[in-house]
Homo-oligomer: A and B are copies of this chain.
């Protein structure tokens, strides 16, 4: 029997969104405009890949998805705030995201900054609700999450991304891919593992999986973006500045193989994580 990824994704996405919207302030919670801006940002989300990775990682180490619901929502709230701030006029100046007006386009620039800020705060508040699988777990969850999210992680990647001008070097591309993208994939997987009380060697397997998946995801994104007319004010940093499309496809395949290979030895059900990685490549078919 093969694994039914589409059915899995639909069920998981529904589970994530139910909890995600329960974390957010109600539409009429004062200040209502802030509550509405935060909910609008989360509504503009996509496939909820990162929180689903978090839940699937908890299961891959033999735990339950429920144990990882709080970290999963924290990861998605954090991802959402970074998109809200990336869309601001001083960065990508994007007015539309997934067919909806961006937060600053709809609520004004000040609310764009503040709703993003409040989503980051809410991410940590949500993470702190994770049941402690053993003493010290929460300290570790917060430390790893903050490290992935902060100056040495996602924000550092964004700074190098917006500062690049002209042709990037391979070193710059790898720095941005690792920190802007792969660091949050890694946090999603490891936090799921930690919430499920995984031992160190299983967390390392999840890290290797997430790094491979993060790179494959970003390479795939660059390949798909190359086919689209871009309206951004700022040229996007892309691995296609370094290599041909065929080489990029090869690079994505290599990272996907590494990701799937890293799952060997995990004690739980790794079919969802393996299927998620393989599915990425089908986007390029």
- A interface with B by C-beta (< 8 Å): 25, 29-31, 33-35, 38, 81, 85, 88, 90-91, 108-114, 116-118, 120-122, 124-125, 127-129, 132, 135-136, 138-139, 142-143, 146-147, 149-152, 155-156, 158-160, 162-163, 175
Contact = CB atoms under 8 A, between A and B. Distances in A.
Given A113-B85, A163-B33, A151 B122 contact: yes
B121 A159 contact: no
A139 B150 contact: no
B34 A118 contact: no
Given A124-B146, A128-B146, A151-B118, A31 B113 contact: no
Work out how many copies of this chain go into the complex: 2
A85 to B, nearest CB: 6
B114 A158 contact: yes
Contacts of A109: 90
Contacts of A38: 151
A115 to B, nearest CB: 8
Q: Is the interface of A mostly helix, strand, loop or mixed?
A: helix
Contacts of A155: 34, 114, 117-118, 121
B125 A143 contact: yes
B118 A121 contact: no
Contact of A34 (B88, B116, B151): B151
Contacts of A158: 114
B156 A30 contact: yes
Nearest to A116: B117
Top 8 A-B pairs, shortest CB-CB distance: A125-B146, A90-B109, A128-B142, A121-B150, A118-B151, A31-B159, A124-B124, A118-B155
Contact of A31 (B128, B136, B149, B163): B163
Contact of A159 (B34, B127, B136): B34
Nearest to A156: B31
A30 B117 CA distance: 23
Contact of A117 (B85, B90, B111, B125): B85
A174 to B, nearest CB: 13
A91 B110 contact: yes
